[in-house]
Amino acid sequence: MSAREPIITGGGGPAPGDDDRRRGHDVHDDRLHKPADAMDEKLRPQRLDEVIGQRAVAERLSIALEASRKRGEPLPHILFDGPPGLGKTTFATVLHNELGVELAMTSGPALAKNADILPYLTNASPGSILFIDEIHRLPRVVEEFIYPVMEDFRVDIVLGEGMNARTVNLPLKKFTIIGATTRSGMLSGPLRDRFHLHEHLEFYEVEELAKIVAINAGKLRTTITEDASQELARRSRGTPRLANARLRWVRDYAVARADGHITRTIAVDALDMQEVDIEGLDRQDRRYIETIIRVFRGGPTGVEALAATMNVAVDTLTDEVEPYLLRREFIVRTPRGRRATESAYRHLGLEPPEPEPTFDLSDQPRLFD
């Protein structure tokens, strides 16, 4: 196997070194989750200089890469956090390509017990990378098991039981753990502290997404006008993975309804048909805002109540729907819950309510002292 080809397993199943290796991510059916086919892999930048945007992150990583090369040591352990689809996996892949080392991929929920992660640790070659997605969902017992791995490159294995139990220290090769999370707040302090680099990925600017769309249109062997790339970028919620998905839909639409060339009109018609509005919000985003406005009178309301009313998982709202709505200031979070802003009302074509008068009681005469 070439150093460039990542080993990707669902964990708990085949481990690095097993024959049953497969490329591609697990298939999830929600809109921001892992690519369902090899096509998305084709669109992934391979080198650091192909990565668009996230300049500060890319620069810090290039320093880490250079230091690692010059010292002949593995990269430090790195934690990426940020909403789904912004490039956490992409950065891990790019780092493995830049160093020409092996990459093994797994995820927190797939590592239910120590035995699930052990093969990844013992098979790790010097300088290689172990990518753990959704690391906030690692069970506590596994998390504690990897503390000595991250610190001293050793595992402590308990043999036997009761009076006869003894701990054996197994030295490991020096390698790098890259963790990815959409919820850095859920990570325990000790785990977070064992990552030496913490990188937060932000939503992309329209100009950056437009560049990604134009480049990926080329990779998909389709032609697109500049204003069509801009339109797609504006309607992709600052998220490259969504931009890719929407580009593929627009490309299909262009083939079916026209000559395959993507113009702005084609892009607008195709995205309108998918009910993606001019802000890039889809039906679920609008339903979320509508629920706050109509059912909860604009809020504030708790996310559990919203999720129950909409009949969707709380995690879907907090991980996938809310981050962009917060960033676009369609909602705000207050200590008492989520509230819709004036822009949210206006976006849905509704008149925002008059702000409630506030009374400054500190000016009022006191009745009792």
User: Which sequence positions are flagged as catalytic?
Assistant: 88-89, 133, 182, 241
- Under the binding rule (CB under 6 A), the answer on residue 51 touching ligand ATP is yes
Kindly write out the interface string for residues 199-218 of this chain, putting x where it contacts ligand ATP by CB under 6 A and - elsewhere: -------------x------
User: What whole-number distance in Å separates Cα of residue 20 and Cα of residue 240?
Assistant: 30
- Of the two residues 41 and 342, which places its CB atom closer to ligand ATP in the complex? 41
Is residue 153 marked as binding? Answer: yes
**Is 204 annotated as a binding-site member?**
yes
Going by C-alpha positions, the residue among 82, 64, 191 that lies closest to residue 129 is 64
Return the SS3 of 136: helix
The Cα-based distances of 349 to 45, 203, 289, 299, 306 in angstroms read: 39, 26, 12, 18, 21
Structure tokens at 230: 């801009």
Report whether 248 belongs to an annotated binding site.
Answer: no
Judged by CB under 6 A, the residue of 7, 8, 15, 43 near ligand ATP is 43
> Cα–Cα distance between 242 and 27 in angstroms, integer?
16
Residue 338 known to bind ligand: yes
Residue 54 lies near ligand ATP (rule: CB under 6 A):
yes
**Interior angle at CA 238, CA 39 and CA 96, nearest 5:** 50
| Site for ligand ATP, residues 61 to 100, rule: CB under 6 A | 84-90
53 Rama class: left (phi>0) / alpha (psi -120 to 50) / beta = left
- Judged by beta carbon, residue 200 or residue 346, the one nearer ligand ATP is 200
Residue nearer to ligand ATP on the CB measure, 28 or 154? 28
Is residue 307 a contact point for ligand ATP (CB under 6 A)? no
Interaction pattern, residues 4-33, with ligand ATP; x per rule: CB under 6 A = -----------------------------x
Other CB atoms closer than 10 Å to residue 238's CB: what's the count?
A: 24
Closest by Cα among 184, 152, 193 to 82: 184
Instruction: Give the C-alpha distances (Å, rounded to integers) separating 258 from 238, 262, 331.
Output: 28, 9, 38
With binding defined as CB under 6 A, does residue 128 bind ligand ATP? no
- In the bound state with ligand ATP, the residue whose beta carbon lies nearer, of 33 and 137, is 33
323 touching ligand ATP, by CB under 6 A = no
Minimum gap (Å) between residue 240 Cβ and ligand ATP: 3
Has 88 been labeled as part of a binding site? yes
How far is 35 from 244, CA to CA, in rounded Å? Answer: 10
* Interface with ligand ATP (CB under 6 A), residue from 7, 8, 15, 52: 52
Q: Which is nearer to ligand ATP, 133 or 285 (CB)?
A: 133
Helix and strand totals (H; E) in the chain: 15, 10
Q: Is the peptide bond before 300 cis (omega within 30 degrees of 0)?
A: yes
Q: Site residues for ligand ATP, window 143-182 (CB under 6 A)?
A: 180, 182
Backbone phi, psi, residue 361, to 5°: -70, -15
Binding residue (CB under 6 A) for ligand ATP from 9, 15, 16, 44: 44
Annotated binding site: 43-44, 85, 88-90, 151-153, 194, 204, 241, 333, 338
Q: Which residues bind ligand ATP (CB under 6 A)?
A: 33-34, 40, 43-45, 51-54, 84-90, 133, 180, 182, 212, 240-241, 244
* Residue list for the binding site for Mg(2+): 89
